[in-house]
Structure 1
């Protein structure tokens, strides 16, 4: 979809979208062609349309034998519109235009941008391109309709900042949709080797460096916990290490991004129910998020040093698979008793974290993972739980969350819960029992970060949608890509 800025509307339009706030009167709107104004006034009067927030109506208008789609969208009180509320409006408008099979869409807001011009352009492009996304790669029938161009008609003194925002919003949407594609691919298409290949292609396209370490190198690193999880699969584990050194002279300022990379999770011998296994191709959504964020950071040439690590493998059942009761020695030397083979993600993450700290010398750690079903029970599918040991870094993440609309909520790292992950025969056990599962999983990971500032994002609830909503179609959301990208910008 092409997105650009116009100063004047043409006489004929395939699809006109009029965005009205509570104070707007159609008759008073300048720069709207008279024949459209007459049609809209007649419709508003007949249907008693009131521009309440997110209220959308559409109808057809005929002028000189040419038919136009007209979409009326209510914005409510313009002064109360936040970036996220605008994002929802632009998503709803895009979806309406797609349903009408619009080709060229002209968006005409009746009021000035209530947020900064750059952010306004960003939100528009991001919402339009993310809403248009659908994973249709394997459909043999007719593909969904795509909008050819979206023209924003806005009377501003300078187009510079709006256009800058459009470029940035397009990038955020592009790398998020890249992550969505990776997560939506089935497990017979994306497995450790092909995930590594996809990361290599992204590195070549967007301009960051990458190393992919095979099994023998992982063995030499003594990443026993990571390797144990992958033992049951014929797909060989891969350690994917991506680097963007935007400020090579800076010391003690490297950020480590750790993404969970379980390309399929059967649960191992603690086998998941069939229905629960159905979406386990998405258990690598954390890795997709860090790949997407690396693409954005490299494109934006952020002056920050970033190392992203993905321990990619499958958790399967075979004569080689690890068992409940096994004792594992991690790369750090700490030992773990396996209580549940379906609590595998944290085993791969802690070896990846220790690698990032000791071999890549990262100074901060952010891990992102579809880790616990408890996260869904606690906060549902709209809010990502966060556990951290650093209030200042969390404040930056909260700022990024507000900008991107990716909601987060801090859970307490309650010290008494450390008792729940202690083992009688090892330093730790890999589950803490039936209660506070999101917190105990985070506390388990915290045992391996030392004194480094650390943020943990559990995206088990927010990585997928089971119905169309806002900017999201059914399937992967790409959660974390925009949030992490914006956090990195806050730190650059």
Structure 2
């Protein structure tokens, strides 16, 4: 039996100490920080050729060539460097033999140089470069980075954001506790920009990345540990640590208030459901402050219920509460950034398991709103718990906007793969703002239509609405969104289906295999933009 104390918020928050990234005045031409006494590695940016066969050194790389007395452009050519975003080429300069009384131009300077490709220097390229760089930082000593003229606050934030995300490694379940390894200090040279604005940008990037790390840790936790009770307890610990208000409701509360769908989904499990509400109340709320509710799907494990999933499809289902993890992490980010909007996170938490008490296809469930649902697929449980959470939020919280986020349908992944979330909304302005935030956060969205004529596919002869449409209708992601819209009437609402983007089957530059934490950056950026701030 695995000891659940190996996976508590105490150990998680200890893991949420990201690499130290700071801004410092100067350039590689003048800074004293690249001497061998202070630094192990110097990172210099290069770009792809522009009309000839040679990569383009940035001004920082050119200045380094003069200071080091080495033709770094020639070194890049010998490494067959192309300058594409994320490409890293290591140049190790030799020492002079100890018996010879001789010197070299780089005496006293860090001897390890990384030529880092930044592509065309866009924010996306810079973020990719930052994520890729982490794999090549192999020392506990200081690393100094000169990106040349690209040192605006938004560039610093993009680079550091990529670096932070690339540094994440999932927590492992092992016989003995893993040793805490030290982390190198990363220094980014400011060039011509003001140090205070760059420091602020780095701080915001670190806060968002901390939220993403938390979401990844929660989603990656094995489901034999991550019961609904465990998840609720972690939420309580997070809220206490961050000064957030929290209420956790149990199965009795759900039964007293008529949450028939949530109780049905949880009915097959030995682990009872929970209903978590976390609130960020701004210290100072401006005249335009809104009440934004974020609802996250919290299925701690999804077997598919009686409509059993195939074996291979079950393996990643510990991450079926990635939406809930993102919602909770967003509350942490909102608190640390002191966002002016009132933000309430609502997380229905349950396990979809199999037993004699599991709900069945053909059942008719009465939901919190009073609407009845004909069950047609027990593996479409996420929309049931989300529907009741949406109904409750609209009725009890009177929000200005409700956003739900969920690993909801395989259809969304089939449509857009694993790098885009799917967006639905009944409000064009909200949809446009979310798309803008997604682009700024590099967590991309594609808006899909709420097709009015498809609503006929959810008509039921037994209940007010069918859980899923008959197979001939297709459009599984759209049908799920239409079902949820039914439970958010007369409210500005957006639905993010992140079934593809929430998981990475293989490691990428900015994430290990497993949960990606997708959505934390997007929602944080959306809230920052709506507050008139921008990371």
Question: What TM-score results when the alignment is normalised by the length of structure 2?
Answer: 0.85
Q: How far is the alpha carbon of 1:104 from its aligned partner?
A: 2.4
Q: C-alpha deviations, 1:317-354, integer Å up to 9, x for none?
A: 11111111000011111110001111100000011111
The alpha-carbon distance between structure 1 residues 315 and 76, as it changes in their structure 2 partners (threshold 3 A), is closer
Alignment check: 8 A CA contact 2:46 2:61 kept: no
Q: How far is the alpha carbon of 1:34 from its aligned partner?
A: 5.0
The aligned residue for residue 300 of structure 1 is 337
Alignment check: 8 A CA contact 1:120 1:162 kept: no
Alignment check: 8 A CA contact 1:243 1:308 kept: yes
Q: How far is the alpha carbon of 1:451 from its aligned partner?
A: 1.3
Alignment check: 8 A CA contact 2:297 2:349 kept: yes
Residue 379 of structure 1, aligned match among 412, 416, 440:
416
Matched, 1:124 2:159: yes
Matched, 1:453 2:466: no
Matched, 1:473 2:505: no
| Partner-residue secondary structure (3-state), 2:397 | coil
Matched, 1:180 2:180: no
Q: How far is the alpha carbon of 1:244 from its aligned partner?
A: 1.2
Q: How far is the alpha carbon of 1:214 from its aligned partner?
A: 1.1
Question: What TM-score results when the alignment is normalised by the length of structure 1?
Answer: 0.93
The aligned residue for residue 351 of structure 1 is 388
Q: How many residues end up aligned between the 2 structures?
A: 484
Mean Cα deviation higher: 288-297 or 104-113:
104-113
Alignment check: 8 A CA contact 1:35 1:63 kept: no
Matched, 1:55 2:87: yes
Alignment check: 8 A CA contact 1:337 1:423 kept: yes
Q: C-alpha deviations, 1:131-176, integer Å up to 9, x for none?
A: 1101133245977976411111232242011111110001010011
Equivalent positions of 1:222-261 (< 5 A) are 222-246=258-282, 253-261=290-298
Q: C-alpha deviations, 1:255-285, integer Å up to 9, x for none?
A: 1111000001111110111111111111100
Q: How far is the alpha carbon of 1:482 from its aligned partner?
A: 1.1
The aligned residue for residue 201 of structure 1 is 237
Q: Which runs of 5 or more residues in structure 1 are unaligned?
A: none
The aligned residue for residue 314 of structure 1 is 351
Q: How far is the alpha carbon of 1:468 from its aligned partner?
A: 1.4
Residue 74 of structure 1, aligned match among 117, 133, 138:
117
Alignment check: 8 A CA contact 1:27 1:41 kept: no
| Partner-residue secondary structure (3-state), 1:272 | coil
The aligned residue for residue 9 of structure 2 is none
Residue 145 of structure 2, aligned match among 82, 101, 107:
107
Q: C-alpha deviations, 1:152-207, integer Å up to 9, x for none?
A: 12322420111111100010100110010000000011111111111111111222
Q: Tell me, in whole angstroms, the C-alpha distance in 2 between the residues paired with 1:204 and 1:127.
A: 29
Q: Tell me, in whole angstroms, the C-alpha distance in 2 between the residues paired with 1:140 and 1:69.
A: 37
Q: Tell me, in whole angstroms, the C-alpha distance in 2 between the residues paired with 1:382 and 1:28.
A: 33
The aligned residue for residue 5 of structure 1 is 23
| Partner-residue secondary structure (3-state), 1:242 | strand
The aligned residue for residue 529 of structure 2 is 490
The alpha-carbon distance between structure 1 residues 479 and 453, as it changes in their structure 2 partners (threshold 3 A), is same
The aligned residue for residue 44 of structure 1 is 76
Q: How far is the alpha carbon of 1:11 from its aligned partner?
A: 2.3
Q: Tell me, in whole angstroms, the C-alpha distance in 1 between the residues paired with 2:72 and 2:462.
A: 75
| Partner-residue secondary structure (3-state), 2:462 | coil
The alpha-carbon distance between structure 1 residues 149 and 385, as it changes in their structure 2 partners (threshold 3 A), is same
Alignment check: 8 A CA contact 1:256 1:307 kept: yes
Q: How far is the alpha carbon of 1:10 from its aligned partner?
A: 2.2
| Partner-residue secondary structure (3-state), 2:522 | helix
Q: Tell me, in whole angstroms, the C-alpha distance in 2 between the residues paired with 1:162 and 1:225.
A: 49
Q: Tell me, in whole angstroms, the C-alpha distance in 2 between the residues paired with 1:394 and 1:471.
A: 26
Q: Tell me, in whole angstroms, the C-alpha distance in 1 between the residues paired with 2:212 and 2:274.
A: 23
Q: How far is the alpha carbon of 1:76 from its aligned partner?
A: 3.6
Q: Tell me, in whole angstroms, the C-alpha distance in 1 between the residues paired with 2:69 and 2:405.
A: 50
| Partner-residue secondary structure (3-state), 1:398 | helix
